[in-house]
A = this chain, B = another copy of it.
Amino acid sequence: MAIITLTSDWGNSDYYVAAVKGTILSQIPNATIVDISHEITPFNVRQAGFVLKNCFRDFPQGTIHIIGIDSIESTEKPHVVVKADGHYFIAADNGIFGQILTDFDEAVTIDVPQDTDSFNFATRDRFVKVAAMIANGAPLSEIGAPHKKLNGGLFCAVVRDNSIEGIVIHIDSYENLITNITQEMFERERCGRKFKILVKGNLYTIDKISDSYLDVDKADLVAIFGSHGNLELALNSAKLASLCGIELDSTIRVVFGEEDTPPTKNTLF
């Protein structure tokens, strides 16, 4: 039984998602189809990558992940199949893999013709066809020639002398902020030093990492490394993004150093 996941920026009010699902059920009758999300911000490959990175390993080995975002083929962004960690990904090589994977086992440039004339809906007209080949056991070598290097690595936080400069890559439904600063990067740069996390320039600061949102008082700022492994900022039981006017791509900085000022205040009000 093939499991196929779908990630896109199509929204849920269009026929696009259903067209792809119908095509999957026509070509892979016993497929189990799971939506990752179709509410990725249009063309936001970084956000799509973040979302997929944080759930694909929860699926069984052999799952096929179709990514329908920024998927028009071009010389710089060929259609590819990537095998990594026992999972298959079908997408345009538009930088998304730099966000999802640190390594991969095998990748090919797709050399399978579409059956339609329209080139605006490759997810339905090409990716599903490729998914059916994989589901039926075709080796990747049958799908195309090896693709040596994946685009990506563009979306990392920047490490400076005594600081890390990241950005908000995702705002969740509670309006918590998820940054591109990973726990691994944070600990490596920190080297046991004190630190301050600065939000909105230095309007709000916090100098402590908590284990849970509940470790601070209601409406206080809390920093945790979520189950995604990235630095996440939130207000206990309140909406950080809209209360503080923070958007996707806003800068978040971590400054390291010996602290000689009194502990900073992490209360907003």
Contacts and interface: CB of A to CB of B under 8 A. Distances in A.
Interface string A174-200: 100000000000000000000000000
Interface string A14-49: 111111111101100100111111111011000000
A89 interface: no
A60 B29 contact: yes
Nearest to A43: B237
A119 interface: yes
Interface residues of A, number: 65
Given A40-B13, A43-B237, A60-B26, A18 B120 contact: no
Nearest to A1: B29
Interface stretch (A129-137, A161-169, A207-215): A207-215
Interface of A: 1, 3, 5, 9-23, 25-26, 29, 32-40, 42-43, 50-60, 63, 72, 74, 116, 118-121, 124, 170, 172-174, 211-214, 224, 226-228, 237
28 contacts: A3-B25, A5-B22, A11-B172, A11-B173, A12-B37, A12-B38, A13-B39, A13-B40, A13-B51, A14-B172, A15-B52, A15-B53, A15-B54, A16-B172, A17-B37, A18-B51, A19-B54, A21-B34, A22-B55, A22-B63, A25-B59, A26-B59, A26-B60, A58-B124, A72-B214, A120-B212, A120-B213, A124-B227
